[in-house]
Structure 1
Amino acid sequence: MNSVSYIKFIVESKPLSEGTKIKLKKVGPHRPGFNLVNTTQAFNTEFYKLSKWLCGCPDRKALFCYICLVTDKTRSGPWIDGVSVGIANFEELKIQVEKHQRSKKHMENSLGYALIGSNIKDRSKEWAAMVINHNERVHEHRYILNKLINCVKDEIDTNFKTKMERIISESSFYVASKETICDELLESVYRVCVDLIHKEIQQTDYVSVEFNEATNSGSLDLVFIIRYELSGQIFERFLKFVKKPEELSSVILQELENLDIDDTPNKLISYSHDGLSLTCAHRIEHEKITTQYACAKFIHSYSHKLDLIIQRAASTFKEVKIFFANLATFAKFFSHQKYIAQLDKAAEKRHLRGTKIKWNFDTQTVFIVSLHKDSINECLNNIIQVETERPIVAKAVALSSLLSDSNFIFWLDFFNKVFPNCDRLFNQLLYHEGFSGMKVLQYLDIFKGHMKSVECSIDLKNQVGDNSPTPTKRQRTENVAIKEEITIDEIDLTRVKQETTDEIITTQLVNCEKKRTEMAKSICSIIINCVEDRFSNIGHLSLAALVQSSFFAKYEVFFPKSEVAEITTLHKLSIETLKNELLTIYNRTELSKIEGAIILLQYMYKNKLTNAFPETFKLLKIICTMPMITCEPDRCFTTLAKVKDAFKKARECRSTDAFVMCSLEKELMLRTPNFNDLVIRDFCQRNNRNCDFEYK
């Protein structure tokens, strides 16, 4: 029973029992002799004298460690593992025996072998008591972790760490700092949420990705959001912040690869970002993406504000960038309630109403400063006279000087004409009923006409000297003649020098004004090109119009096959089948009353019409997945705004990604049945914990 073959046969079926180990220890190692065939080596039974634990196996023609064979639970030793053949090279037997005897594994097994059969009853009781104590500690620790996770699931705010640290303080938790525990637990929640989102993405047919600028500075520049449809529900999921790259296409391709979307490239149907998109570089990046993802189209997302996009486009000029930086100081200065009240008071004197202003966006700030310029200047002068704190006085003086600066006033008037047109276009695209690709083209033509009017309204003859008048020749002559010691010749010489200086200054000012004017005209062209480029792909809007009830009567008579032919071919939709299915829907009174693609898609899920209308079902999923601009209320929620709001509260958190994810994905956490267990498992496996979390 102590042969190597017999022991290995038993081990393959089940672990050795304590009784079997006692018997094997009592019998000792099996040391048979065996002949070696077709080899130059010779076996000698004297080999067994090298160590007490050597045993032989005639079947394998090799020597093994009897102690490890009996004791090792993992069977991972090089002497007894099923993959190994033991010591078959007897020429270096002594060296291999000494090496194995010094190994840590052999020492551990030797200790276990020595304890076999000694005080079995006492050790069983001690072991049982130890297991009970261990499991009690595990239960307590997991209970605390559950409370911490529930704290995250309930509400994430600026004080959530204080609540978690209080829970830890009231428990017998391990030595690590409380803040470290909170941060590591949040990171575990984040990883579990990402895994759950990844599994949902694998179940979807289509996805869209968005990259949006979240911060103006720092390493966290772009927020990555993915949008998909699952069982009639639309999900916009925040995934992470990514560092702003030189080439956006490289980030998009890398993140899609991380989500395993590159395995099914037709799943990606659109991507969008709020960066500058009018240069050749953007078109090159688009080609890189479409080379791998042929169905992906760049579209304008409903969450992207046109005025902000246009502001970034115009800020490629240094002067414009400086203007917006100076403009932001007005909003920051007047964010104090005391100064807002003073501004309201100054405006009331000038019979201006509606001065309770929100300084949230640069578009609003441009309008406010332009409309209430005199009131703001009066308010600043009052602050300079009354205020005693030097930093505030310095800020007020700087802002007051901006209101008399010709360069600042020029750009203020210019953007006060530009931004209303941008807001008008955005509102038309977002809230207009009966939306279609043709409507977009009409709105774009109107917008371009307004921008051309702004370009023509720039006064080339506007003289900067009107804002900062220079002294007349007579005044300069009188000022010079006051000096008693100056002769007539000296006066004439001074007059000539002064006239020359005035001509130089006037020429420089005129050139500066011309430069500003040309720059403003260039910005008008850039804005037009930017808007045209963002709406160059509008086939998806025509596709969305097919399921808008306001077009049913029109399309029942004339189906717009030519308008949707390109995009239906791209997504491999049968245009004839789609036409027949939609005409059937148009003729049904109960279906024609359904407003919007999302409700119609949910109706098809609920009534099991997905097989009856397969092409329409695909169409609805594509439309709902794209973050396009429509007038449907259900589509007009934006994850980007929630991300930016959560980002402001995440300053003290080690992982901004984790904090934002925990703030946004409460619904995902609550509907996952074993969410807490998944988090605890991840939390325990990531680092070497001093606490016990796994039951024995």
Structure 2
Amino acid sequence: MFSVVREQILKEVKDSDFIAIQADETTDISTVTQLVLVLRYIDSKMNVQERFFEFIPLQSSTAVNIATELKERLSIILPDQKEKLICQAYDGASVMRGATGGVQKRIKEDYPNAHYIHCYAHQLNLIMEQATSHISKVRNFFSDLGGFASFFSRSPKRTSVLDEMVSRRLPTSSKVRWNFHSRAVNTVFEHREDLIKCFHAIRDSGDFDEITVREAGAYARILEDPDFRFFLQLFHQIMPLVDTLYARLQKRSIDSVYIKRCIQRFQEDIQKIRDSLHAMTVEHSSLSLQSRKRVALSSEDHQRIAAEVCDTILGHTRERFQFTDHLICATLLQCDRFEDYQVDFPEEALKTTVKAYPVLDSSRLKTELELLYSNEEFRACSGAVDFLQFFMENNLGELFSETVTLLKILVTTPMTTAEAERCFSTLKRVKTFLRNTMSQDRLNALATLSMERAIVTEMTDFNVKVIDTFSNLKERRAKFLYK
């Protein structure tokens, strides 16, 4: 069954115009380092596919070893079509992204069109880590925020009071879950008053030990602290925007045109928060005075720190996302700028695009784009996927051949390694503590059948192929026929 599914994936890859790979590594239950390889391409029905290909056991996690293993698999996937590999997407580890001896550099030596993409979700996580850790007051805020869940997780007796008075559990700290801070901020913001009552109830009940009483009183004072309340309100506005961008980045059908617009919208929303800081700090100072609470920081200090947080997010977003080749290429098909492009054609973006992807014909692409910009009908498309489907549905593929080629490149290029991360969940389900001696072939077979079960259901002759493959494995006394 595994070999039939593998053959179908290889057939789809062969029929596609371009292919991209995603790779990431983790350690399984047997402490074996597993490198997951995922293929992204457009199938014959113009649907974006991200297919699990294999878990590769690594003897060492060096760039040389990882690159060697990937090249071995790529020689099977693309035996005589090296130019089809247009992208390789990894996380930001130095062993993967190294410009001189990293995996991406070694792969590009054999596959010159394989541009490197640093996973955008990982980059967004790094941006938020920078914004929430390099300012001492903000770092202290998130340290206090993580303490609430820790306080309740250490005792079922404390948790029972939380369930009774708040009816909501607090998210525990996790370095691997990207949106942990967001979930914690939203929960504490929405249930702050109930949490204060909960801590007071624990302190005044007389049923808890001295350490618990002391900690409960401290956490109640933290929740009532004006500085904590201000940062809670600030990040309650910022974190939903981050969550929205995270959710969009992890969709399979995203493309660089769509993501470029999402990033621009994210920057605009953060800028709006920054512009409204004065009103928010004035309101917060007024509430603090009304409640007769001492303000540890002045409104000017609050505004300054909040502005620094917003500036950090905006600055790092521009630095990490703005100047990569595939995003510059995406500007050619940014619908909301078509009207401007009619007057001022984006020559620099066109030069960057043709330089990054030599397969494109510059003069013909320019002619097609000029026609595209002058037609209002194309301005309703929201991304490269919509554009590509529109061209195919209206039989415009031959008329806009270079534009379609560019669209296929942009759609095939993965923006994240989210699919590779999802494969790790299957790995944990398949290779468990009770099955930790499972062979690598069996692991790959079970993982493929689990993650690519859609192929099994879509192939009408799947059973016939499985029986034929099984019967041809070796000489048998009886012939296996499917009736």
* Structure-2 residue corresponding to 1:580: 367
**Residue 199 of structure 1 pairs with residue 14 of structure 2:** no
* Structure-1 residue corresponding to 2:385: 598
**What is the CA-CA distance between 1:658 and the residue it aligns to?**
3.0
**What is the CA-CA distance between 1:623 and the residue it aligns to?**
1.1
Q: Note the 1:132-531 alignment, pairs <5 A.
A: 189-212=1-24, 218-219=31-32, 221-231=34-44, 232-243=46-57, 246-248=61-63, 250-252=65-67, 254-260=69-75, 261=78, 263-276=80-93, 281=98, 284-285=101-102, 286-301=104-119, 304=122, 306-307=124-125, 330=149, 342-347=161-166, 355=168, 361-364=179-182, 366-367=184-185, 424=241, 427=244, 430=248
**What is the CA-CA distance between 1:270 and the residue it aligns to?**
1.7
What is the TM-score when the length of structure 1 is the normalising length? 0.46
What is the distance in 1 between the residues matched to 2:28 and 2:219? Answer: 25
Q: Percent identity?
A: 23
* Structure-2 residue corresponding to 1:621: 408
Cα–Cα, structure 1 residues 591 and 678, in superposed 2: closer, same or farther, change >3 Å?
Answer: same
SS of the aligned residue for 2:87 comes to strand
* Structure-1 residue corresponding to 2:459: 672
Cα–Cα, structure 1 residues 567 and 549, in superposed 2: closer, same or farther, change >3 Å?
Answer: closer
What is the distance in 2 between the residues matched to 1:679 and 1:384? Answer: 66
Q: Note the 1:627-646 alignment, pairs <5 A.
A: 627-628=414-415, 639-640=419-420, 642-646=422-426
* Structure-1 residue corresponding to 2:445: 658
**Residue 554 of structure 1 pairs with residue 368 of structure 2:** no
- Unmatched 5+ stretches in structure 2: 134-138, 223-229, 275-309
Paired residue total: 413
Q: Note the 1:10-25 alignment, pairs <5 A.
A: none
Cα–Cα, structure 1 residues 422 and 274, in superposed 2: closer, same or farther, change >3 Å?
Answer: farther
Cα displacement string for residues 110-132 of structure 1 (whole angstroms, at most 9, x for unaligned residues): xxxxxxxxxxxxxxxxxxxxxxx
What is the distance in 2 between the residues matched to 1:668 and 1:643? Answer: 16
* Structure-2 residue corresponding to 1:571: 357
Letter in 1 for 2:423: V
What is the distance in 2 between the residues matched to 1:336 and 1:303? Answer: 35
Cα displacement string for residues 412-450 of structure 1 (whole angstroms, at most 9, x for unaligned residues): x999989986774574684999868699589779989x9
- Unmatched 5+ stretches in structure 1: 1-188, 349-354, 407-412, 452-523, 630-636
What is the distance in 1 between the residues matched to 2:387 and 2:71? Answer: 30
What is the distance in 1 between the residues matched to 2:329 and 2:444? Answer: 35
What is the distance in 2 between the residues matched to 1:402 and 1:278? Answer: 44
Letter in 2 for 1:192: V
**What is the CA-CA distance between 1:299 and the residue it aligns to?**
2.2
Cα displacement string for residues 351-405 of structure 1 (whole angstroms, at most 9, x for unaligned residues): xxxx56666743246536876799779868989999x9xxxx9x999x989979x
SS of the aligned residue for 2:333 comes to coil
* Structure-2 residue corresponding to 1:535: 321
**What is the CA-CA distance between 1:581 and the residue it aligns to?**
0.7
What is the distance in 2 between the residues matched to 1:327 and 1:209? Answer: 36
Letter in 2 for 1:342: V
2:42–2:48 contact (8 Å) kept in structure 1: yes
Cα–Cα, structure 1 residues 618 and 369, in superposed 2: closer, same or farther, change >3 Å?
Answer: closer
What is the distance in 1 between the residues matched to 2:362 and 2:270? Answer: 33
What is the distance in 1 between the residues matched to 2:8 and 2:216? Answer: 54
1:212–1:640 contact (8 Å) kept in structure 2: yes
* Structure-2 residue corresponding to 1:34: none
1:204–1:229 contact (8 Å) kept in structure 2: yes
What is the distance in 2 between the residues matched to 1:679 and 1:230? Answer: 23
What is the distance in 1 between the residues matched to 2:372 and 2:472? Answer: 54
Letter in 2 for 1:649: R
Letter in 2 for 1:241: F
What is the distance in 2 between the residues matched to 1:692 and 1:526? Answer: 71
* Structure-1 residue corresponding to 2:277: none
SS of the aligned residue for 2:101 comes to helix
1:358–1:364 contact (8 Å) kept in structure 2: no
What is the distance in 1 between the residues matched to 2:466 and 2:376? Answer: 50
Cα–Cα, structure 1 residues 420 and 237, in superposed 2: closer, same or farther, change >3 Å?
Answer: farther
* Structure-2 residue corresponding to 1:610: 397
* Structure-1 residue corresponding to 2:291: none
2:20–2:87 contact (8 Å) kept in structure 1: yes
What is the distance in 2 between the residues matched to 1:532 and 1:553? Answer: 24
What is the distance in 2 between the residues matched to 1:301 and 1:362? Answer: 19
**What is the CA-CA distance between 1:305 and the residue it aligns to?**
7.2
2:335–2:382 contact (8 Å) kept in structure 1: yes
Cα–Cα, structure 1 residues 344 and 305, in superposed 2: closer, same or farther, change >3 Å?
Answer: farther
Indicate the structure (1 or 2) with the bigger Cα radius of gyration.
1
What is the distance in 1 between the residues matched to 2:261 and 2:193? Answer: 44
Cα displacement string for residues 281-301 of structure 1 (whole angstroms, at most 9, x for unaligned residues): 466314323322222222244
Alpha-carbon RMSD: 5.9
SS of the aligned residue for 1:299 comes to strand
